[in-house]
Structure 1
Amino acid sequence: MITLIGKPGCHLCDEAREVVSRVAGELGVPWEERDILQDEELYRKYWEQIPVTLIDGRQHDFWRVDEKRLRAALEK
């Protein structure tokens, strides 16, 4: 499971969403998006790092999503 943490109006989040959506779709991996503006705990933890990607609840990347790195982590 991939979790993308971001917020509306964030251009890096938009780019990350495209990569996550494409990779998850191709590999058949479920994913969700969480908005830091709707969750105080996520905001406190990640506000300087968005977008953040988690794989199975563990932080994988922040600021940018590297497609090759994401694929490699999911194919393990």
Structure 2
Amino acid sequence: MLGKHGCHLCEEALEVIRRVSADTGAGYTVRYLEDASRQERDEYWERIPVTFVDGAPHDFWRVSERRLRAALD
């Protein structure tokens, strides 16, 4: 997940990611825009949180638990 410190949507997304990860055994990492490249900041600033599956953008703004589970199956 790519997010921003203090972002309530990012906190909600991370809760979903943690729950799905615990159930499926999938790993995850959290990165923050403050530490991202200028290109990533420019591309994703208005769309955080951004979830990625296998390195590809998967969801923006909100994480659908159903879609994330389906993508990890």
| TM tier relative to shorter chain | over 0.9
Alignment root-mean-square deviation, CA: 0.7
Q: How many residues align?
A: 72
What one-letter code is carried by the residue in structure 2 that aligns with 1:21? R
User: Are residue 62 (structure 1) and residue 60 (structure 2) matched?
Assistant: yes
Q: Which of 22, 36, 40 is the aligned partner of 1:25?
A: 22
Q: Unpaired segments of 5 or more residues in structure 1?
A: none
User: Are residue 6 (structure 1) and residue 3 (structure 2) matched?
Assistant: yes
Question: Higher strand share goes to which structure?
Answer: 1
Normalising by structure 1, we get a TM-score of 0.90
Matched-pair identity in %: 51
**Structure 1 residue runs of 4+, over 2 Å off?**
none
Normalising by structure 2, we get a TM-score of 0.94
Aligned-pair CA distance for 1:65: 0.2
Moved more, 34-43 or 62-71: 34-43
Question: Higher helix share goes to which structure?
Answer: 2
Secondary structure, aligned partner of 1:60: strand
Q: Which of 12, 16, 22 is the aligned partner of 2:13?
A: 16
Secondary structure, aligned partner of 2:30: strand
Q: Which of 46, 56, 70 is the aligned partner of 1:72?
A: 70
